[in-house]
Amino acid sequence: MKTLVLATANPDKVKELQDVLGGAYDLRPRPTDLADTFEDGDTLEYNATKKAREVSDFTGLPALADDSGLFVDFLGGAPGVYSARYAGENVTYDDNVTKMLQELDGVEQTQRGAQFRTTICYLEPGKEPVLVTGEMQGYISTERTGENGFGYDPIFVPVEGDGRSYAEMSHTEKNAMSHRTKAVQALLGVLG
């Protein structure tokens, strides 16, 4: 079984990636003695590649990194690549959700369309990076619902679902359809 080092330090993303990848790889966590990657790119692809390269260079092993964003139509695609920092630096998930709900206060449901996108970079030492993207269409609800998930999950309602937010779904239900799952499936299809 091939060893793969995850580049994310976010425990919520680690759990999702472990659940989706199942037993396909021997997954290792990001080394604790490796400094966090400074995500200074303006695209998901750039940030995912930078994270994967830093981890692969540090460990000498294949690395998998992702960068995700919520792209809201009414906001011209914002927060996009800046989703984790939407309400500022060192903020909580709840801070970002609160800001999003304030920005969309009074906006009609028909104008609240949004897409969650994940770009995954798989990088083996000495090889070109493999990039894939997964996307889920949906909309931003007018209030938080559900207790599961993380990030914007309490206000993102996927169109492929049954009207519940990601946070109202079990992990299994969300992982069966999420943007991150679609990206992982695309990657596994490329890698064989």
DSSP lists the bridge partners of residue 66 as: 120
Rounded to 5, what percent of the chain is helix, strand, coil?
35, 25, 40
Catalytic residues: 67
Q: What residues contact residue 153 under an 8 Å CB cut-off, 6+ apart? A: 146, 165, 166, 167, 174
| CA 37 – CA 151 distance, rounded (Å) | 19
